[in-house]
Amino acid sequence: MNTKALKICLSLVFTASLFTTGSSSAHALGANEAPKAKNVILLIPDGMAPDATALARWYQGGTPLALDEMASGLVRTHSADAAIADSAPAGTAFATGHKSHTGYVGVLPDVANMPGQAAIAAEDAKKPVASVLEAAKLAEKATGIIATSEIMHATPADFSAHYPDRSNYDALSEQQVYNGIDVVLGGGSLYFTPEGRKDGEDLVQAIKSSGYNYVTTPAELNASNSGKLWGLFAPKALDYDMDRDPAEQPSLADMTKKAIDVLSRDEDGFFLMVEGSKVDWAAHANDPTGIISDVLAFDEAVGTALSFAKQNGNTVVLAVTDHGNGGLTIGNADTTKTYDEEPLSTFIAPLSKAKLTGEGLEAMLNEERSNVREVMEEYWGITDLTDAEEQAIREGEDSLNYIVGPMISKRARIGWTTGGHTGGDVILYSYLPDDKRLTGVLDNTDIAKFMAAALGVDLNATTDRLFVPARQAFEAKQAKVTLNEEDPQNPVLVVTKGSDTLKLPAFKNIADLNGQRTSLEGVVVYNGENVFVPQQAVDLIK
Q: In whole angstroms, what is the distance from residue 203 CA to residue 197 CA? A: 10
| Contact of 408 with 361, CB cutoff 8 Å | no
Among 79, 87, 100, 251, the one annotated catalytic: 87
Q: Is 523 helix (H, G, I), strand (E, B) or coil?
A: coil
Length of the chain, in residues: 542
| Contact of 29 with 432, CB cutoff 8 Å | yes
- Residue from 476, 480, 485, 479 nearest 526 by CA: 485
* Residues whose CB is less than 8 angstroms from the CB of residue 158 and which lie 6 or more positions away in sequence, other chains included: 88, 91, 92, 94, 95, 96, 105, 106, 131
| Contact of 106 with 126, CB cutoff 8 Å | no
Pairing status of strand 426-431 against strand 468-469: unpaired
- Residue from 169, 145, 116, 50 nearest 445 by CA: 116
Query: What does DSSP assign to residue 537?
Result: H
Residue 492: φ, ψ to 5° = -130, 125
Q: What is the CA radius of gyration of the chain?
A: 24
Q: How many helices (H) and strands (E) does the chain have?
A: 20, 24
- Residue from 118, 29, 28, 51 nearest 424 by CA: 51
Q: Report CA-CA distances (Å) from 248 to 41, 127, 279, 412.
A: 26, 40, 20, 32
Residue 370 annotated in active site: no
Instruction: Give catalytic residues, as residue numbers.
Output: 87
